[in-house]
A and B are shown apart, each in its own frame.
Chain A
Amino acid sequence: MSEQPVMVFQDVTKVYPLPAGDVTALDGVSFQVDRGEFISIMGPSGSGKSTLLNLMGCLDIPTTGDIFISGTRIGDMSDIELTNLRRDRIGFIFQYFNLFPLLNIIENVTFPMMLKSQKAVDPEKGKEVLRSVQLDDSLFTHTPTELSGGQQQRVAIARALINNPDILLCDEPTGNLDSKTGAGIMDLMTELNRNGTTIIMVTHDPHIAEYSRRTTRIADGRIVL
């Protein structure tokens, strides 16, 4: 029996009701992501990338159609269940790193782990993941603002990986980095994918999209390729 896909979209439509009239952001989108894939989603501004990312990240639910994350249908889930799903199954990597300025690097990385275990966690686990993203030990007790952009993104990747998620969702992961640092980050993500991590990356940069094994294009709320 073949392995269950980590993500399935079945005829997903997302409509935003606005005073000026309904806006259809996604229109009958269907695709699936298998375990171990590295997919990039590309599309122009206003094509529905962000809506797709929000639905993939369980931050929103579809108007019609079904979304399954590791076999679990998210349409009927409560806010608490969706939040737990995000915590346990999905790792987020943002363009602007989005680390917590009040916490040091170790605390930032172990934050999702603490949410899951509801108690203090062993910092060694955080250090281990930080080392796997090639961050120097001397930086572990610093705060995010004391780190460079590339270092901060490595911390963000470590935070996304700490709960061993099924999917890594990346929103323009190199969009705020210079090309050399961006290439370093993409090399790291390629390495993570080679080690079994499923990655879905939204980007508008074709050079960055080349790191993925499959590219999906979106335009006017529809998958076009």
Chain B
Amino acid sequence: MIFWEIAKRNIRINVLRSSLAMLGIVIGVVAIASMGILGNSLVASVSDSLSSVGDSVIVTPYSGGGGRGFGSASSSANLKITEQNFQQIKRVAAPNVAIPIYQTAEHMKIGVGSDDIVAVIYGLPSDDVPDLLNLKEGVYNNGNSGCLIGPTFAKDHNLIVGSRISIGTNGDKGTLRVTGIIEERGMSFDISTDSALVVTKEWFENTYNRDADYDEVVVKVKDGDTASMKIAIEKQLNKRKDMKIVNVMDSKATLATIYSTFGMVTTFVTAIGGISMVVAGVSIFNVMMMSVTERIKEIGIMRSIGTQKKEVMSMFIYEAAIIGVIGSTIGGVMSIMAGYAISALILNTTKHLFTIANALSVAEGMGFGIVICLACGFYPAWRAANLNPIEALRHE
């Protein structure tokens, strides 16, 4: 249609002015989309390092505040979960499995003459280990002299299945043989095994003289309804409001909170990017108003020879749309490049770049750019269409 052609030609003859308006949109799209990409990549990166613990409820001794960090059981030696409490949890959790866990930090040596190191040791019932941990290699440990080790621990200390570790400052707590290496779990809400050892419950109780006073209980919820399980355990164990016994953490809800927080951060930084888009919008508005003002007489001629208001309006809307589409497309391509650079520099990886979420961020930025252009082009176009043709014809 002729009005599309006129819009294109007008942009072409005012190439510098149009390019500057486009540049504003490009910057706006890049700001929005690359911030979105960064946020999404950050979430994906964190998700990678969080193990799949969405089906766990973690019970720890009540410590007053109720808060706790990833994979760290209560650090206060006197706060434990008793056997009686454990049995109550087990009954509430049935038929789901409840796993009692011991935890301590211990000195140890790997090989003769090696340096003394300190690592976390978890004690778990042998039968329950497969419910919680998967092995990368080797076999689950059933004997008292064996242990499982995390992949980071194995890598850092060059350990393989069959390697031996002396436990205690001078090996006074015996030697453990590595029977298996655990699959990488990343950060986790229950136990963080990547740099730790996992021994049998019996070895832990014998070595540290512990007797059914657990640091933590993990309930694996098969149907995924962790929220109901949390409520059920709290109802059973924290009956008295003035004397709570346990803290119960719903890993799924916690995970959701983390993602929601990241989502809010992403939205916030994207909104900051949005400010540049608003500035670009002002520039588009300005350019379109200039375009209308320069062409008042032309509009008058068009109206006088039979051009409808909506046709005049379409001509200016096309102009805004062309600036918006070209600017947004360039911005979209550049935001992928910017997202790549930011991910490489800040997250040290670009493997999360080509995801649906990032594609949506780019589409969102581009869409916003086009909508801003159209919105800012609307009033000048409306004004042009509603000029009095007689006055427009007289305009010099």
Contacts and interface: CB of A to CB of B under 8 A. Distances in A.
A103 B6 contact: yes
B367 to A, nearest CB: 30
A114 B305 contact: no
Contacts of A59: 303-304, 389-390, 393
Contact of B10 (A54, A94, A102, A112): A102
A120 B5 CA distance: 11
B308 to A, nearest CB: 5
B362 to A, nearest CB: 34
A195 to B, nearest CB: 22
B390 A87 contact: no
B301 interface: yes
B6 A100 contact: yes
A-B pairs, top 5 by smallest CB distance, nearest first, are A87-B306, A102-B9, A98-B301, A86-B306, A114-B2
Interface in A131-175: 159-160, 163
Contact of A83 (B10, B298, B308, B390): B308
A65 B393 CA distance: 25
A84 B309 CA distance: 11
Contacts of A103: 2, 5-6, 9
Interface residues of B, number: 22
Contacts of B9: 102-103
Contacts of A34: none
Contacts of A79: 309
Nearest to A58: B304
A107 B303 CA distance: 17
Given A60-B390, A114-B2, A83 B297 contact: no
Contacts of B87: none
Contacts of A92: 304-305
A160 B311 CA distance: 19
Nearest to B297: A98
A29 B298 CA distance: 31
A100 B301 contact: yes
Interface string A83-122: 1101110001010001011110001000110111011100
User: Most chain-A Cβ atoms within 10 A of its Cβ — which of B6, B297, B305?
Assistant: B305
Interface in B286-342: 297-298, 301-309, 311
Given A87-B307, A107-B5, A111-B305, 9 more contacts: A83-B308, A86-B304, A92-B305, A94-B301, A100-B6, A102-B10, A103-B6, A115-B307, A116-B306
Contacts of B243: none
B77 interface: no
Nearest to B396: A96
Interface string B1-22: 1100110011001000000000
B311 A115 contact: yes
B307 A83 contact: yes
A98 B300 CA distance: 10
Contacts of A111: 2, 305
A57 B304 contact: yes
B308 A80 contact: yes
Contacts of A112: 305-306
B306 A115 contact: yes
A120 B2 CA distance: 8
A54 B390 CA distance: 7
B200 to A, nearest CB: 84
A86 B309 CA distance: 13
Nearest to A96: B297
6 contacts: A59-B393, A83-B309, A92-B305, A103-B6, A111-B2, A115-B307
Contacts of A83: 303, 306-309
A149 B148 CA distance: 96
Nearest to A88: B306
B348 to A, nearest CB: 52
Contacts of A60: 390
